[in-house]
Amino acid sequence: MKFEELSDIDELLKKHDEYRARCLNLIASENYASDKVRNYLSGDFSNRYGCYTTMNMDDREYTGNKYINEFEQATHDLVRDVFGGKYADLRPIGGHMAGMAVVLALLEPGDLVIEVHLADWGHGLVGPMCELRQFEETINVEYMKFDKTGAVEVEALQKMAVDLKPKMIIFGGSGTLFAEPIKELREIADRENIILAYDASHVTGLIASGVFPNPLDEGADVMFGSTHKSFPGPQGGFVVSDNKEMMTKVGHALSPSLVTSHHLNRLPAFAASLLEMKKYGKAYGSQIIKNAKALAEAMEASGFNVKGSSRGYTQTHLILVNVGEYAPKAPGKLLEKAGILCSDDFAGSVPEIRIGTPEVTRRGMKEANMKDVAKFFKRVLIDKEDPEAVLKDVEKYALSFSDYEYAFK
């Protein structure tokens, strides 16, 4: 397709919207932002710069920021209210950039970081950074171990911390099933001068809802993450901490080296989604976890091997399912043909798919609906039905949940 007229753009966007409305979206890193939040992405902020290079937002490079500055200050107050931390920085335009800023700001050349490996559904922060020569020669990385249920091996990590003496440990990943042992590492971190960082990108919505432990309350020095995924806001990033010195360093790492224009148009939408979470978050977050647990049970009952069954499957918005018996190759494309969207990962020794419940929860699905969702997976992967036949039923089912809940209308 070629864009020659505005109508061409409108047509393709309409096709996308209609297509996604007919899909069963179980991608754990996606969500549905309410129309109210989406509408705030347009406006004059889209064309403005709000650059500042210190923690002092009043010290701005550009003029004309009188109300931009006021708006940004008010949004910072909301972030601190919802996520905690005395200090916040909203300049990262994504969770990955927020993590990079923390790493680059707080490490010295030769320092060691322990994080979650991609094979264990890590976000791939320091490891992939080290694929670039500039970082490979300055940052060292090791990886924490996980048990069969998907939980961090606490004693093994404590031993690594004592023996290897890393400068930083980064908890959190894209496959987090259970709360991490931050408290169990705090004493060692104090003794060995280790920074405990938390990548909250996937669980920001659950933290904001109060249904998942806040890492800062558990003893993390700094938390960073995304403003989407389980959090139903616009795409973007943030960093929060109670440590002013750390946040000053993070601010200097962010601007001007990583970002100058920090995409101000996302701030009104983010502020609206923060207010949305303050009003509806508790019910929303609770239902997300209820749905994830119900889906795990239904998947297990359908014949799938779901990780973490001995621990109740999950404490978050997602579940991990071993599909090696049914799908020797990545099943994501096959499921997509049936209108079922999820993530697959074959980086580890066990082929798994990651299924998340944020968007279907926002669409109004409850525990009973998760049995229907599990049946769709079974029909494609176990029963080997023609995906095109399953697609017809998926589309009809998805269209019956065309509204959204836990949000401003």
Annotated domain spans of the chain: 37-272, 281-399
Contacts of the segment 248-252: beta carbons below 8 A, 24+ positions apart? 248/54, 248/55, 249/105, 249/106, 250/89, 250/101, 250/102, 250/105, 250/106, 250/222, 251/53, 251/54, 251/55, 251/89, 251/91, 252/53, 252/54, 252/105
CB environment 257-282: b (16+ within 10 A), e (fewer): ebbeebbbbbbbbbbbbbebbeebbe
pLDDT, one tens digit for every residue, the chain (409 residues): 899 999 999 999 999 999 999 999 999 999 999 999 999 999 999 999 989 888 888 889 899 999 999 999 999 999 999 999 999 999 999 999 999 999 999 999 999 999 999 889 988 788 878 778 888 788 999 999 999 999 999 999 999 999 999 999 999 999 999 999 999 999 999 999 999 999 999 999 999 999 999 999 999 999 999 999 999 999 999 999 999 999 999 999 998 889 989 999 999 999 999 999 999 999 999 999 999 999 999 999 999 999 999 999 999 999 999 998 887 677 899 999 999 999 987 566 678 899 999 999 999 999 999 999 999 999 999 999 999 999 999 999 999 999 999 999 8
At the topology level, CATH places domain 281-399 in: Aspartate Aminotransferase, domain 1 (3.90.1150)
| Number of residues in the chain | 409
In angstroms, the CA 228 to CA 277 distance is 12
Other Cβ atoms closer than 10 A to 115:
27
Which residue spans within 204-330 are E strands per DSSP? 222-226, 237-241, 305-306, 318-322
At the topology level, CATH places domain 37-272 in: Aspartate Aminotransferase; domain 2 (3.40.640)
In angstroms, the CA 67 to CA 295 distance is 46
